[in-house]
């Protein structure tokens, strides 16, 4: 596991370089994107690189990590909406090349089909992650099996509370989400994780040097051959 510690502004630039080198070598790369506040600076950087003509996503395919269950696709709290606002509307990716996991009571096979769609696209070349304060990656809450594929998740109270800052109140935060599983994430050829702020320090310390256990989902990353963590000094303060 490689660890880069710098200011958030520098981290966004360094993380964005992964996309420049990957897409110049492989324009049809398969990209796994994440939501939350942590990746926004990277998305700003990628949008700027696109405007400057230094990167193109025209042939890329994307698979997002997770999505809430029960929100309309055009709901301003949906992760689809977030991704179009923060990245997809600002770059040249065709809307037909972006993918989000979904769940349907009437089509139960649809959720796990997401892993098959990823495999059919050639597998994820570069997966971006944030980390929850309880160590979750995607919406894989503590206790999620390492063998999990894309699945429906009941969100914990702590995650709903943490994410309520984007909603009018905690009652508006959906109770369920659908998320790539741990195995889906671990299948990516390369993984980058960004975390800033003291609030993430404990989860980062446990993920990096703690026991590898489903109780701390991000600890599984210790088992992946190509992971880079982009941390500011506060997030790295307990390492």
| Positions marked catalytic | 66, 134, 136, 141
Neighbours of 225 (CB within 10 A): 8
Nearer to ligand GLP, 49 or 138 (CB): 138
Cα atoms in the Cβ-side hemisphere of radius 13 Å centred on 68: 25
Considering only 18, 127, 150, 163, the residue that binds ligand GLP (CB under 6 A) is 163
List phi, psi (to 5°) of 89.
Answer: -75, -10
Per-residue interface string for the shown chain with ligand GLP, residues 110-149, x marking contact by CB under 6 A = --------------------xxx-----xx----------
Please report whether residue 34 would count as binding ligand GLP according to CB under 6 A: yes
Quote the CA–CA distance of 84 and 76 in Å, as a whole number.
Answer: 10
Nearer to ligand GLP, 56 or 146 (CB): 146
Burial class (CB in 10 A: 0-12, 13-18, 19+), 9: exposed
Nearer to ligand GLP, 22 or 196 (CB): 196
Which conformational region is residue 108 in: left (phi greater than 0), alpha (psi within -120 to 50 degrees), or beta?
alpha
Starting at the earlier edge strand, list the strands of the sheet with 66-68.
Answer: 66-68, 176-179, 151-154
Please report whether residue 219 would count as binding ligand GLP according to CB under 6 A: no
Span of 36-44, 45-53, 82-90, 222-230 interacting with ligand GLP by CB under 6 A:
36-44
In the complex, the residues that contact ligand GLP under the rule CB under 6 A are 34-38, 65-66, 130-132, 138-139, 159, 163
């Amino acid at each position: 596991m490689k660890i880069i510690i710098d200011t958030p502004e520098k981290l966004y630039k360094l993380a964005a370089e992964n996309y420049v080198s990957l897409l110049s070598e492989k324009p049809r790369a398969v990209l796994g994107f994440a939501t939350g506040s942590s990746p926004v600076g990277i998305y700003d950087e990628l949008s700027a690189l696109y405007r400057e003509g230094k990167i193109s996503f025209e042939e890329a395919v994307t698979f997002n990590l997770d999505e809430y269950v029960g929100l309309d696709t055009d709901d301003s709290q949906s992760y689809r909406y977030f991704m179009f606002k923060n990245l997809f509307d600002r770059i040249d990716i065709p809307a037909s090349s972006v993918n989000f996991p979904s769940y349907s009571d009437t089509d139960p096979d649809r959720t796990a089909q997401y892993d098959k769609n990823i495999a059919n696209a050639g597998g994820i070349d570069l997966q971006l992650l944030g980390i929850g304060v309880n160590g979750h990656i995607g919406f894989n809450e503590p206790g999620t099996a390492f063998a999990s594929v894309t699945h429906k998740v009941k969100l914990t109270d702590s995650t709903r509370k943490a994410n309520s800052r984007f909603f009018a109140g905690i009652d508006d935060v959906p109770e369920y989400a659908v998320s790539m599983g741990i195995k889906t994430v671990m299948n990516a050829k390369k993984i980058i994780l960004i975390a800033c702020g003291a609030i993430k320090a404990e989860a980062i310390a446990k993920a990096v040097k703690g026991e590898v256990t489903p109780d701390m989902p991000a600890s599984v990353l210790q088992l992946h051959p190509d992971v880079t963590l982009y941390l500011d000094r506060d997030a790295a303060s307990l390492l």
